[in-house]
Amino acid sequence: MTDMIKTNDRTITLEILRYNPESDEAPTFGTFEIPYVEDWSLLDALEYIKDEMDSSLSYRWSCRMAVCGSCGMVINGKPQLGCETFLRSYYPEKMRIEPLANFPIERDLVVDSSDFIKKLESVKPYIIDAVDATKAAPKKKQPEKTSTGVYKQKPAELGLYKQFSMCINCMLCYSACPQMGLNPLFTGPAALALGHRYNLDNRDQGADERTEVIQDKNGVWSCTFVGYCSEVCPKNVDPAAAINQNKAQGAQDWALSFLMPRKGDK
Ligand code: SF4
């Protein structure tokens, strides 16, 4: 790493939250003055610190190109990916790096994502085919199938849900969401957008099976529509729109239930 640094006298200061729950009473900030290299991402800077200054620094990373969603952290108060945040955007000011908010800290910048994974799973994020769905007759008109049974989905049909399928599970939206801090049971932006993605897919017939989670008081109705989740998303997913569309659908279904009671209802 040191071989890569072009010699210059400029430095930048990084304040990084340090915390080991097994040995520390409370999180504290550690200060690192490192060489300022114009084309370094924050991830490069963290790697320099780990290699040259403090090997105990803990953070997650993998792809380095905003695809894996591993390196989410709060940078000067805003949830961002470390790999696509550059020192030059902050120099000569210092940078303050914290773990994602609204998650338990495992160590330093590493958070526990197990509750997030459970929330993703709760919306059944997979195609539920007509034969598997609890309702025998497909509610949605499904795409044509080829002679070998493969769906022929048209570009316009793909366009309905494509943006919601771009999520990389980086959890930035959960860190940005004020409601997550107030109500940890809130299913949250990414999971609700993911459920919406499958409900909009015309190969899928599982909307009824997702309704209980999506329309729950801890589902879309817990959202107060601040919209910061969509603002911080690095992949231009719009979870706030997904949530609002589901609120509108829920309200419509509720009103229709008075006019068109289901079979068997009195
Ligand atoms: S919706 Fe966007 S911010 Fe939220 S987890 Fe997915 S990619 Fe990250």
**Count of structural domains within the chain:** 2
Q: Rounded to whole angstroms, how far apart are CA atoms 160 and 167?
A: 15
Question: Is the C-beta atom of 183 inside 6 A of ligand 1?
Answer: no
Residue 126 gets the label, from left (phi > 0), alpha (psi -120 to 50) or beta, of: beta
Last residue of a domain, one of 88, 111, 134: 111
Last residue of a domain, one of 80, 111, 142: 111
Strands 151-152 and 28-35: unpaired
Compute, in angstroms, the gap from residue 208 CA to the centroid of ligand 1: 24
Compute, in angstroms, the gap from residue 169 CA to the centroid of ligand 1: 5
Question: Which numbered atom of ligand 1 lies nearest the CA of 166?
Answer: 7
Compute, in angstroms, the gap from residue 87 CA to the centroid of ligand 1: 23
Whether residue 153 is found in the same domain as residue 224:
yes
Q: Which residues contact 182 (CB under 8 A, 6 or more apart)?
A: none
Domain containing 176 equals: 114-259
Q: Rounded to whole angstroms, how far apart are CA atoms 190 and 161?
A: 14
In sequence order, the β-bridge partners of residue 111 are: 105
Question: Is the C-beta atom of 170 inside 6 A of ligand 1?
Answer: yes
pTM equals 0.91
pLDDT digit string (tens) for the chain, length 266 residues: 655 566 578 999 999 999 999 999 999 999 999 999 999 999 999 999 999 999 999 999 999 999 999 999 999 999 999 999 999 999 999 999 999 999 999 999 999 999 999 999 999 999 998 766 655 566 778 888 888 888 899 999 999 999 999 999 999 999 999 999 999 999 999 999 999 999 999 999 999 999 999 999 999 999 999 999 999 999 999 999 999 999 999 888 888 888 776 654 54
Closest residue by Cα to atom 1, ligand 1, is 190
